[in-house]
Amino acid sequence: MASNITPAVDDDAPALAGAIVIHAKKVCETADHLWRVLGDVSIPVDGLTDTRQQHKVSFGTESMARVYIYQTIYDLAQSEVADRLENRPALLKQLGLNRVPTQQNLSYAWNQFSEQTKTTLEAAAKGIAREARDHDVISEALIPINLGEKEANDDKSDSKVSRAHVREHGSKVVELARRHGFAEFDSDRADNRVYEDEQILDLFSNACLTQGSAHSEGEAGWFLEENEICDDSTFLRVIKQFATPSDEEVTRSVQELQIEDIVAFTELYREAVMASFNAATENILKTIRHEDPFDDRHVVAAVDFTHVPYHVWPWIDKDEKIPKAEYPPMVSGYKEDGEIKHGYTFATITIVGNDVPIILGIEPVKERSAWEPEDAPADSKADVVDVLLDTAQQYVDLDEVLLDRGFYSNEVYATIHDRGLVYMTPVPKYEDDYEAIGKIKSKEGVDAAVKNDVPFAIDGELHHTAEFLYVPATDEEAEGSYAVFVTNRDHVAPDEIMHVTNSYSRRWDIENQYKSVKAFLPRTSSKDYRVRLFSFTFAALLYNLWRLTDYLVKLGTDREIRSPPVVTARTFVRAVSQSLRQGG
């Protein structure tokens, strides 16, 4: 039986598609996400033909029309649409669905759409994609590529298709990354400056590519007689200006200031550099939001510390406890591979698991070291985690936070718990006593156990309870026969222990991230904290832009997002450097 929806007249189809697109254009003026455009655009169902019996269907014509437009824009198969709707509740809601349709539901509905209705919706989809691109809701680089018949039938490997995509669309993707990242850094110099910011960033990109330095880049410019390359002193001066607020001026060498003044200035530097980094990160996330890779059912972030080595001894005489007076106050000691080292400390929060691994926030960390006065200022781990979570939750809806054992602290856990988030971290020390472990709940036949409802207190008062999970140790997790994890999940059952603890392996993404970021770091011997802070932040930005580029390429070639990179980090930096030279 035909539905009571009035069949569309053929001549009205172009006008109907045009009306949908006109409204979509208006929606694009305020929307920051293509899903929201698809959810808010008006779909006049009285102009569509749907021959299903409307009083029996679970999914109405309007919602199915929105899904059809979504499928057309993203160039998906019905099975892929069904999978995405199942795994992304926000998308389901945005398209007007109250439950997940099966592939059979989609197939039946679309078979009951008339050819004219399909033509109308396909024309509307193309128009909506175009408007979304023109309003920066979706980048042109994100529009799925249509391989020619020859390429589509080619038996060559996927890597060949990927290379073809990179050649065809690479310049757009790299320029997108450049515009969204580098444009947010402003040295605030006079208009009559000799070298533009883009040229300085060009030098910095080259230094990152070769792990060179300001001196090596300036020397290369002199030797090759390249007038667009400044000398190393100019290079470093502009880098410092990137990290100095426009209304602040440091009249003396940073190292000549008292420690309290230095710490105060480093906070100003942090605000200046992080404002640029955060703006660039927001641009990156807006670019990939059309696909909303962070809207899975369970979004996990990892928080960790990393150290950038500083190869200078802090003592004049350690035995007599005489420190160097002008030793950089942001440098602290840390242990690595059983050896005491010195370096700058940075904390990051990064999306891990099945999502695009983007660094959402960075915090430089001031730790008190043995060579400093006892009253020297220092950052608490709970405060650092709190700031990182503030930053990250501006961009994504987090569910869980994974931390290194160095964050084992009631205050840290309270900070996370108060936000309604799940935390999980290894316990650094525990009583290696199998008999004690045997007394708590375990799953029969499995060498694991759980201790439920362990109290965690703040200022002597119960704050919340947590679960201690005991599992056989690996070399990475513990020195004893058992590794112990703590989490504030609700009452972990014995048969859930291994599943919960295995999920902690997702945190290792952050270890790979730090290797990549440090591979981008240029060499420097500068004691000025602005240079050190900018170097790490810019390296982290390059990491994010590389991940963005690789994501876009994978999207265009239908690759799994978490598959090995199609575009290597080194290839990306070379492409950015070349783009900067051409643009500058």
pLDDT at 172 over 90: no
Task: Classify 403 in phi/psi space as left (phi over 0), alpha (psi -120 to 50) or beta.
Answer: beta
pTM exceeding 0.85: no
Q: What is the DSSP code string of 34-95? A: HHHHHHHS---GGGS-B-S-TTT-SS-HHHHHHHHHHHHHHT--HHHHHHHHHH-HHHHHHT
Enter the tokens of residue 258.
């008292």
What pLDDT digit, counting tens, does each position of 515-556 carry?
888 888 888 888 888 889 999 998 898 888 888 778 777 776
pLDDT at 550: 80
The answer as to whether 353 is a domain residue is yes
pLDDT > 80? residue 16: yes
Q: Are 424 and 484 in contact (CB under 8 A)?
A: no
Of 499, 503, 508, residue with least CA distance to 448: 499
Residues 355, 395: Cα–Cα separation, whole Å: 14
Q: Is residue 347 part of a domain?
A: yes
Confirm if 363 and 384 have CB atoms less than 8 A apart. Answer: yes
Q: Which domain holds residue 128?
A: 13-142
* pLDDT exceeds 80 at position 147: no
Give the integer Cα–Cα distance in Å for 201 and 191: 17
pLDDT band, residue 440 (cuts 50/70/90)? low
DSSP E strand stretches across 69-176: none
Residue type, 73: I
Q: SS3 for 306?
A: strand
Distance from the Cα of residue 174 to its chain's centroid: 18
Are the beta carbons of 412 and 381 closer than 8 angstroms? yes
d(CA 169, CA 441): 56
In a domain, residue 126? The reply is yes
The answer to whether residue 422 is domain-embedded is yes
pLDDT, position 126: 87
Helix, strand, coil percentages, rounded to 5, for the chain: 50, 15, 35
Helix (H) or strand (E) holding 401, with range, is: strand 400-403
| CA neighbor of 499 nearest in space, from 453, 446, 454, 451 | 446
Query: Residue 563 in 3-state DSSP?
Result: coil
Residue 387 pLDDT level (bands cut at 50, 70, 90): very high
A 10 A CB-CB count for 241 gives: 20
Both structure tokens of 353: 């698991």
CATH number, position 337: 3.90.350.10
Q: Does the residue 89 lie in any domain? A: yes
Say if CB 65 and CB 44 are below 8 A apart: no
Q: Which residue is it, tokens 């400056």?
A: 193
Provide the terminal-to-terminal Cα distance of the chain, rounded to the nearest Å. Answer: 65
* DSSP secondary structure of 457-519: EETTEEEEEEEEEEEE--TTT-SSSEEEEEE--S---GGGHHHHHHGGGGGGHHHHHHHHHHH
Tokens of 15: 């006008």
Element (H, E) at 302: strand 300-309
Taking only Cα atoms into account, the Rg of the chain, rounded to an integer number of angstroms, comes to 28
Residue 413 has pLDDT above 50, yes or no: yes
> What mean pLDDT do residues 5-33 have?
73
Residue 292 has pLDDT above 60, yes or no: no
Task: Indicate the pLDDT class of residue 432, thresholds 50, 70 and 90.
Answer: low
pLDDT of 252: 55
- How far is residue 169's CA from residue 468's CA, in Å, rounded to a whole number? 50
* Contact predicate 469/487, CB 8 Å: yes
Per-residue pLDDT at 75 exceeds 80:
no
Asked whether residue 299 is domain-assigned, the answer is: yes
Q: Is 225 helix (H, G, I), strand (E, B) or coil?
A: coil
Q: Which of 520, 539, 554 is the last residue of a domain?
A: 520
Strands 441-442 and 422-426 come out as unpaired
**Domain contains 37:** yes
Q: Domain for residue 3, yes or no?
A: no
Sign of CA dihedral 472, 474, 478, 484: negative
Which of these three, 142, 177, 198, is where a domain ends?
Answer: 142
Domain tally for the chain?
2
pLDDT at site 2: 40
Res. 461: pLDDT tops 70: yes
Residue 152 binned pLDDT confidence (cut-offs 50, 70, 90) = very low
Given 114, 142, 170, the domain boundary residue is 142
Give the Cα separation of 459 and 382 in Å (integer).
14
Mean pLDDT over 54-83 rounds to 88
At 391, the amino acid letter reads T
* Confidence (pLDDT) at 400: 93
In order of 257, 325, 335, 532, the CA distances from 321 in angstroms are: 21, 12, 20, 27
DSSP code of residue 297: S
pLDDT in tens, 469-501: 988 876 554 455 778 899 999 989 888 888 888
Model confidence at 50, pLDDT cuts 50, 70, 90, reads very high
Print burial letters for 383-415: b (CB count within 10 Å at least 16), e (below 16). Answer: ebbbbbbebbbebbebebbbbbbebbbbbbbbb
SS3 325: coil
Rounded to the nearest 10 degrees, how much is the dihedral formed by the CA atoms of 260, 264, 270, 275? 170
Report residue 310 as tokens: 């500083």
Looking at residue 160, its pLDDT comes to: 44
